[in-house]
Amino acid sequence: MSFQSPYLEKVYEKVQQRNAGESEFLQAVKEVLESIEPAVLANPAIEKNGIVERMVEPERFLVFRVSWVDDNGQVQVNRGFRVQFNSAIGPYKGGLRLHPSVNASIIKFLGFEQCFKNSLTGLPIGGGKGGSDFDPKGKSDMEIMRFCQSFMTELYRHIGPNVDVPAGDIGVGAREIGYLFGQYKRLSNSFENGVLTGKGLTYGGSLIRPQATGYGLLYFTDAMLQKAGDSLQGKTVVISGAGNVAIYAAEKAMELGAKVVTMSDSTGWIYDGEGIDLNAIKEIKEVRRARLTEYKNYRPNAEYHEGKGVWSVKCDVALPCATQNELNEDDAKALIANGVKAVAEGANMPSTLEATKLFVDNKILFGPAKAANAGGVAVSALEMSQNSMRLAWTREEVDSKLHDIMVNIFNNSYAASVQVGHEGNLVMGANIAGFNKIAEAMIAQGVAY
Ligand code: NDP
């Protein structure tokens, strides 16, 4: 690691000492610190006000026991987390992840990234994230409900519509948000539906929220291609994942004239040269919560492969939409050798640092997660606005606001990349645009002493 700025060098050393062994968190911090260097060197107030060392330290990090009773009457114990990372520009905002891999490092990396992403949306939301190492796979509906109730029994005292507003992420969709909200309402004895987003439509959810991250990803990809004089029309697209983000990314890609040929889940991947049948995927994944192995029952000519392999398929556009570090240096080399034109991240930090560098160095159009997948949290913020006004916007209103927000994020990130002399490097542009706004708010608000 070599920074030109001794200040950033010192901050990163301290982050490594304080968070030893937290590889995902250190990876996320390293990427941001490297790319904001020109902004830090240009503005001495950043160091004077200790902005970077404050930004890498969460304002609050909650860790708690979640005990619940399974269907056999056996008590189970999981660990719950909520990181309240930065509230300089608004209440903490960020999803909850339920997955066995969840630990402090993953929650902190997600919370850290969320601060910059939320800033980029232009909406008044700070950064947070949470979750648990609970594994929803194979659990009954009642087990999911009891887990969510126990999780909220601790979390409710730390959140609120003006304090911290959780939402969904891996393993958390409308069903889980419903159980979490029900318990919050019981405990607080008030109908404050602005406390959670991603709710069902009957109790304050927003139209387009389930589609928002995937649709937003495609609006962003389209903006990148258009700037380069191209479009999605006729393009071959590979997508990883088969969850919320992947499904609606595929839907919008098809609407915009592209052909989607792959999807994956945690056990394998499918290739359908005629174009993925999205109704089949929705039935398998959303309705029956089953495995992609079943896709062959719908499309006998499609291929199913165990393990990982989506990035070896020849394509024009690649959209990683499953999880962190799912696209490594070798995958990036394979995509580039196969002539990929654009890569946009639907998942959070799906590309390793080495893969990201290869895309940037080879001038592939590259949309980093903070910018490209911000559509979900943007519509969550629109859900908060509708809740506080006690009204509901139409599908067209929300979709058109989402579209404008994504195009603005692209334009602002692009403009920031030009300003620092790295035109088109959206990793730098997005990090700097997100960072500058938070830094300015933090300086304005001072420190307690
Ligand atoms: P879902 O739980 O709906 O889907 C996740 C998908 O990724 C599933 O197909 C799952 O497979 C697969 N997956 C998860 N973990 C792994 C793993 N360790 N290895 C391989 N495959 C895995 O989650 P979302 O679609 O909501 O989230 C996907 C990504 O998008 C995450 O990185 C999330 O942080 C990010 N994101 C989500 C937003 C949202 O609004 N939901 C907003 C912005 C970013 P299986 O079906 O087998 O479980």
How far is Cα 35 from Cα 263, in angstroms, rounded to an integer? 31
User: What residue numbers bound the domain in which 257 lies?
Assistant: 212-367
Contact assessment for residue 108 and residue 22, using Cβ atoms and an 8 Å cutoff: yes
Name the active-site residue from 129, 199, 259, 370.
129
Establish if 94 belongs to a structural domain: yes
Establish if 376 belongs to a structural domain: no
Residue 339 CA to ligand 1 center (angstroms) comes to: 26
Amino acid 396 reads E
**Whether residue 237 is found in the same domain as residue 346:** yes
Residue 292 CA to ligand 1 center (angstroms) comes to: 14
Tokens of 400: 């058109």
Task: Check which CATH number belongs to the domain holding 41 and give it.
Answer: 1.10.285
Q: In which residue ranges of the chain is pLDDT below 50?
A: none
Residue 246 CA to ligand 1 center (angstroms) comes to: 8
Given ligand 1 and candidates 129, 133, 206, 265, which is best to mutate, with the most ligand atoms within 8 Å of its CB? 265
Answer yes or no: is the C-beta of 245 below 6 A from any ligand 1 atom. Answer: yes
Establish if 217 belongs to a structural domain: yes
**Cα 322 off chain centre by:** 10
Helix 104-120 and helix 23-42, axial crossing angle in degrees, nearest 10: 30
**Whether residue 76 is found in the same domain as residue 158:** yes
Residue 210 CA to ligand 1 center (angstroms) comes to: 13
**Whether residue 9 is found in the same domain as residue 50:** yes
Ligand 1, atom nearest to 369 Cα:
44
Domains in the chain: how many in total?
3
**Whether residue 225 is found in the same domain as residue 316:** yes
How far is Cα 194 from Cα 336, in angstroms, rounded to an integer? 44
**Whether residue 234 is found in the same domain as residue 318:** yes
Tokens of 220: 């962003």
How far is Cα 11 from Cα 4, in angstroms, rounded to an integer? 13
Q: Ligand 1 atom 33: the closest Cα is on which residue?
A: 347
**Whether residue 147 is found in the same domain as residue 47:** no
Tokens of 154: 């601790």
Answer yes or no: is the C-beta of 406 below 6 A from any ligand 1 atom. Answer: no
**Whether residue 112 is found in the same domain as residue 247:** no
Token match 């990035």: residue? 311
**Whether residue 32 is found in the same domain as residue 67:** no
Final residue belonging to a domain, choices 141, 162, 191: 191
Q: Ligand 1 atom 31: the closest Cα is on which residue?
A: 347
Contact assessment for residue 299 and residue 275, using Cβ atoms and an 8 Å cutoff: no
Contact assessment for residue 412 and residue 433, using Cβ atoms and an 8 Å cutoff: yes
Q: How many Cα atoms are found within 13 Å in the side-chain-facing hemisphere of 442?
A: 24
Handedness of CA 395, 398, 399, 400 (dihedral sign): positive
**Whether residue 18 is found in the same domain as residue 107:** no
Mark whether 10 is an active-site residue.
Answer: no
Q: DSSP letters along 223-258, please?
A: HHHHHTT--STT-EEEEE--SHHHHHHHHHHHHTT-
What pLDDT does residue 1 have? 56
How far is Cα 186 from Cα 53, in angstroms, rounded to an integer? 39
**Whether residue 106 is found in the same domain as residue 229:** no
Q: What is the pTM of this model?
A: 0.97
Residue 240 CA to ligand 1 center (angstroms) comes to: 9
What pLDDT does residue 241 have? 98
How far is Cα 276 from Cα 123, in angstroms, rounded to an integer? 35
Task: Check which CATH number belongs to the domain holding 254 and give it.
Answer: 3.40.50.720
Establish if 417 belongs to a structural domain: no
Ligand 1, atom nearest to 324 Cα:
32
Answer yes or no: is the C-beta of 169 below 6 A from any ligand 1 atom. Answer: yes
**Whether residue 247 is found in the same domain as residue 323:** yes
Establish if 117 belongs to a structural domain: yes
Final residue belonging to a domain, choices 367, 384, 409: 367
Final residue belonging to a domain, choices 367, 387, 422: 367
Token match 């001794």: residue? 6
Establish if 16 belongs to a structural domain: yes
For 79-115, how does the pLDDT look when each residue is reduced to its tens digit (9 = 90+)?
999 999 999 999 999 999 999 999 999 999 999 999 9
Q: Ligand 1 atom 41: the closest Cα is on which residue?
A: 169
**Whether residue 291 is found in the same domain as residue 312:** yes
How far is Cα 305 from Cα 198, in angstroms, rounded to an integer? 33
Contact assessment for residue 271 and residue 305, using Cβ atoms and an 8 Å cutoff: yes
Establish if 384 belongs to a structural domain: no
Task: Check which CATH number belongs to the domain holding 120 and give it.
Answer: 3.40.50.10860
Ligand 1, atom nearest to 376 Cα:
40
**Distances in whole angstroms, Cα of residue 244 to Cα of each of 101, 286, 369, 403, 442:** 19, 8, 15, 18, 34
Q: Ligand 1 atom 27: the closest Cα is on which residue?
A: 170
Handedness of CA 343, 345, 351, 357 (dihedral sign): positive
Ligand 1, atom nearest to 172 Cα:
2
Establish if 250 belongs to a structural domain: yes
Answer yes or no: is the C-beta of 244 below 6 A from any ligand 1 atom. Answer: yes
Given ligand 1 and candidates 96, 117, 134, 266, which is best to mutate, with the most ligand atoms within 8 Å of its CB? 266
Mean pLDDT of the chain: 97
How far is Cα 95 from Cα 174, in angstroms, rounded to an integer? 12
Ligand 1, atom nearest to 285 Cα:
46
Residue 244 CA to ligand 1 center (angstroms) comes to: 7
Answer yes or no: is the C-beta of 172 below 6 A from any ligand 1 atom. Answer: no
Answer yes or no: is the C-beta of 346 below 6 A from any ligand 1 atom. Answer: yes
**Distances in whole angstroms, Cα of residue 240 to Cα of each of 158, 249, 311, 320:** 35, 10, 8, 5
Answer yes or no: is the C-beta of 375 below 6 A from any ligand 1 atom. Answer: no
Amino acid 145 reads M
Residue 158 buriedness (CB in 10 A; 0-12 / 13-18 / 19+) = middle
DSSP 8-class letter at 91? S
